[in-house]
Structure formats: C-alpha cells, structure tokens
Amino acid sequence: MAWSKLKQQLESFLSPTLHGRVEYLSTSYRYLPDKAGLCYLAVDKKKVLNMSDNGFRWYQTELEIKNDPDIQVPINTEEIEAVRKDTKGVVPEDRLVVMARNRKISDIAKEILSAQSSLCKSNFSVTATKFLSISIEESIESNDILLNILALIDKRVGKKRILNMSETIKVKHPIVQYFHELRLRTFVK
C-alpha cells in the first residue's frame, strides 16, 4: 500500500482528541536507493517514535529491563504458588515473591527486546497494514510495540478501556506507557 493511502487510513482511526497532536511522518530518498528512509510518529510536532532511533530509552540487554524502575511487575498468588511448588516449600515466603518476580520479568524482558528489535520503516508499513486488518483487541493484547501504540491512539478504544488497561501497561515498553499516558491526559481535560 502506498504511504499516502496508509497514512490517510491511520489518521481516519485517530482519536478525535489527538487530531492535530499526533502525526504520522515518513521520508524516503528517491535518488539514494541505498539509503533507507525514516518513519516516525510525532506528538505536538516533536518526534517521539523514530523507527531508526528513538528519544525514549532503548534497552540493550535483559538486565537493563530487569533493573528499570519504570517497569512494574505485579505478581499474583498463582505465580508465587508455582515457585513454592518448584522449590518444594523450602524457601522463605519473602524470597518466593522475589523469585516469582524475577521469573516474570525475565519473560517480559525477552518480549520487550524482541518487540523493540522489529521497529524499522519497512516494518512500520507492514505492522500498520496489519493493524488496519485485525481487531482492536488483537492489537491491544499483542506484544508488538507498534500495534499497542496504534491501538492506544485509536478512536475505537474508549475511556473505560484505557482506564482499565492501567495495570497491564506497567509491564510494556516505556514508549507504550507514554502513549497510554498521553491518551489518559486527553480524558482529564
């Protein structure tokens, strides 16, 4: 699909509260075929998601993600019980919580690294086209950063759903958290 048509379709799904604030931008170099173009999202004329380099924190290792205080990992009793069962009950209770959190954050870290590595201009077009053809629920529940962002700024996602997502967003990439916060701020006004 041509960029102009894709951009037009994406803008038609943009939440009315974000019209004029969020822009989809793309550049390409006609006479330099070996140079890749850029594709990015801008909020209030500031580039916030550049497909080749980003103003947000990009993680290099799993350890960086595990040590990031912005990523909060809620632990439930089933996860603690799974650790208790694996350790045959010989580990103190407070240590079980730490072990369960470490297990969960390791899985989340792998997902974030995988999702972040797929962001580039060519993947933007593929992912945006996919977004237009799948349900909004699939986009929200996906591990793909870009699908999450496009769903968060979509007009089909209402106030109640955005508010209910607050817990699940805590384990997502900081750029997804940023767009969730942006959408939350539109409801406050």
Helices (H) and strands (E) counted in the chain, each on its own, are 10, 3
Contact 148, 134 (CB under 8 A): no
Average pLDDT, the chain: 83
Give me the pLDDT at residue 31, please.
58
Confidence of residue 53 (pLDDT cuts 50, 70, 90): very low
* Phi and psi, residue 109, nearest 5°: -60, -45
The beta-carbon contacts of 73-77 under 8 Å, at least 24 apart in sequence, are 73/101, 73/104, 73/105, 73/108, 73/170, 73/171, 74/167, 74/170, 74/171, 75/100, 75/101, 75/104
- Interior angle at CA 140, CA 38 and CA 73, nearest 5: 100
Confidence of residue 166 (pLDDT cuts 50, 70, 90): confident
The reported pTM is 0.67
